[in-house]
């Protein structure tokens, strides 16, 4: 039974980064990965281009992790976006920043990011065992016993970095939640996040591919408004997606109603007054011509008129009040009922996970089980699109490594090594 100082379970970005920074001369570090190669999900990040982080000040990051952003402050400030960019630059991979603040490797290849992480693991002497899923973890007097189908290991410290339950084909199947619970660590309810929405009787399937920049939309539950949002929205064959929808999806439940505004920031009252003025000033024009004066795609214009029961050739002088009310509603507050958020197969991340109140967020060590650490998406943390989740993975992995190094150094000093 081999003995290690540190065993990291899960070779995603958090696990690789933690192993790199936790390993030190004379320390044995093992990284166990269930899949046949490391970083499967990392390679899919940003459609294979790997949006590693976001530009800007770290204090602005905190608002991009839902209700838990403030708890990430120690991790994000211990290893910032600038530190991450510098890390890759020092290892030969330059980055580029898009106008929207997203930061990518200059090569736009996630494989280049992974190659640097793997090379650093090799340089630091980290042993990586792929195709070796962990089947059980138990505590003993000197640490932990870790069982896989091919071996049993003992380790003074373990770090669980198995990711969430999204994109299960990459190996993220919720294993870390089970390991945590078996060790007495509380886990919150989990659900898909950063996921498209499936819409009941979606009326715009034929318009799939049309997108809207900074579209305002609201979410309603049982007749009450529960949120207002704004972001890019995309029509799909089954519903809606795009960064704005993905970011809001963590708050949306089946049977919620979302209301889209196709006229930008114009409020219902403002649009009603403007439409009425245009109709009054152009009585012989067709209503379709009036509607074409707004920034609404032509194909969507025709669909909105049809849904509003307005003939294409209807002229303004025959435009009834009832028809006008229907059109105003459909342009400013188009209602759609959510069948369900997309499942784990299409969700970018998982909402919920290892409960943060059971983790010392200044070290990433369990408050319940000594020498047990967590990092990355296995925690109850999910960020917005735009590089926030990868930054959280790298930052929490780094902070866990710092906590581990300090603990091992303190132990060495106490033993007089």
Instruction: Tell me the average pLDDT across 139-149.
Output: 92
- Domain end among 323, 342, 361: 342
Are residues 409 and 368 part of one domain? Answer: yes
Are residues 179 and 132 part of one domain? Answer: yes
Which of residues 111 and 48 earns the better pLDDT score?
A: 111
Are residues 47 and 66 part of one domain? Answer: yes
| 31: nearest Cα among 117, 116, 121 | 121
Question: Residue 417: is it exposed, middle or buried by C-beta count within 10 angstroms (0-12/13-18/19+)?
Answer: exposed
Q: Which residue has the tokens 């003939």?
A: 311
- Domain end among 342, 375, 394: 342
- Which CATH number characterizes residue 134's domain? 3.50.50.60
Domain count for the chain? 2
Is residue 24 scored above 80 in pLDDT? Answer: no
Are residues 59 and 8 part of one domain? Answer: yes
pLDDT in tens, 94-103: 999 999 999 9
| 135: nearest Cα among 117, 166, 162 | 162
pLDDT in tens, 197-234: 999 999 999 999 999 999 999 999 999 999 999 999 99
Q: For residue 409, what pLDDT band results from cuts at 50, 70 and 90?
A: confident
The predicted model scores a pTM of: 0.91
What 3-state class would DSSP assign to 15? helix
Are residues 235 and 153 part of one domain? Answer: no
pLDDT in tens, 322-345: 999 999 999 999 999 999 999 999
Q: For residue 393, what pLDDT band results from cuts at 50, 70 and 90?
A: very high
Instruction: Tell me the average pLDDT across 41-68.
Output: 92
pLDDT for res 416? 63
Are residues 248 and 179 part of one domain? Answer: no
Beta-bridge partner residues of 228 = 218
pLDDT for res 47? 83
pLDDT in tens, 269-289: 999 999 999 999 999 999 999
Distance CA 84, CA 395 (A): 9
Angle, helix 81-90 to helix 388-415, in steps of 10 degrees: 80
pLDDT for res 331? 97
CA-CA distances (angstroms) from residue 372 to 245, 308, 369, 401?
36, 59, 6, 12
Q: Is residue 170 a contact partner of residue 44, using CB atoms and an 8 Å limit?
A: yes
Are residues 168 and 264 part of one domain? Answer: no
Give the pairing of strands 349-351 and 359-360: unpaired
Distance CA 240, CA 195 (A): 10
State percent of the chain over pLDDT 90.
Answer: 91
Is residue 417 scored above 80 in pLDDT? Answer: no
Which ranges of 91-211 would DSSP assign to H, the alpha helix? 110-123, 175-182
pLDDT for res 25? 66
- Domain end among 342, 372, 399: 342
Distance CA 332, CA 261 (A): 4
pLDDT for res 410? 80
Are residues 353 and 337 part of one domain? Answer: no
| Residue ranges making up the domain that contains 49 | 2-192+349-415
Beta-bridge partner residues of 231 = 215
Is residue 413 scored above 90 in pLDDT? Answer: no
Query: Would you state the structure tokens that stand for residue 349, as one six-digit string?
Result: 């991340």
Other Cβ atoms within 10 Å of 273 Cβ, number: 12
């Amino acid at each position: 039974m081999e003995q290690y100082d540190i065993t990291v379970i899960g070779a995603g970005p958090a696990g690789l980064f933690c192993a790199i920074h936790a390993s030190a001369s004379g320390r044995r570090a093992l990284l166990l990965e269930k899949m046949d190669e490391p970083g499967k999900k990392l390679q899919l990040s940003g459609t294979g281009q790997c949006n590693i982080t976001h530009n800007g000040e770290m204090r602005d990051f905190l608002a991009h992790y839902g209700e838990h952003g403030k708890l990430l402050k120690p991790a994000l400030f211990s290893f910032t976006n600038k530190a991450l960019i510098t890390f890759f630059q020092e290892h030969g991979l330059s980055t580029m920043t898009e106008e929207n603040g997203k930061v990518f490797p200059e090569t736009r290849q996630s494989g280049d990011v992974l190659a640097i992480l793997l090379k650093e693991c090799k340089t630091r002497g980290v042993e990586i065992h792929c195709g070796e899923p962990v089947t059980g973890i138990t505590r003993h007097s000197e640490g932990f016993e870790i069982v896989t189908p091919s071996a049993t290991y003992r380790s003074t410290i373990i770090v669980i970095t198995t990711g969430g339950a999204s994109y299960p084909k990459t190996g993220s199947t919720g294993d870390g939640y089970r390991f945590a619970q078996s060790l007495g660590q509380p886990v919150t309810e989990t659900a898909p996040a950063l996921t498209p929405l499936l819409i009941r009787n979606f009326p715009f399937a034929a318009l799939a591919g049309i997108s809207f920049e900074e579209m305002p939309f609201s979410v309603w539950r049982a007749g009450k408004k529960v949120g207002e949002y704004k972001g890019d929205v995309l029509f799909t064959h089954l519903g809606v997606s795009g960064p704005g929808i993905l970011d809001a999806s963590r708050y949306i439940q089946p049977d919620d109603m979302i209301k889209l505004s196709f006229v930008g920031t114009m409020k219902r009252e403002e649009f009603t007054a403007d439409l009425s003025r245009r109709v009054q000033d152009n009585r012989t024009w067709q209503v379709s011509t009036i509607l074409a004066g707004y920034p609404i795609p032509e194909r969507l214009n025709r669909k909105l008129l049809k849904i509003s029961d307005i003939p294409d050739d209807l002229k303004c002088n025959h435009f009834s009040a009832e028809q006008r009310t229907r059109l105003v509603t459909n342009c400013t507050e188009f209602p759609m009922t959510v069948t369900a958020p997309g499942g784990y197969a299409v969700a970018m991340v998982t909402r919920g996970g290892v409960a943060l109140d059971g983790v010392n967020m200044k070290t990433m060590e369990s408050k319940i089980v000594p020498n047990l650490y967590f990092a990355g998406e296995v925690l109850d943390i999910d960020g917005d699109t735009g590089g926030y989740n990868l930054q959280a993975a790298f930052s929490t992995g780094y902070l866990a490594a710092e906590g581990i190094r300090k603990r091992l150094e303190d132990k060495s000093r106490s033993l007089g090594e």
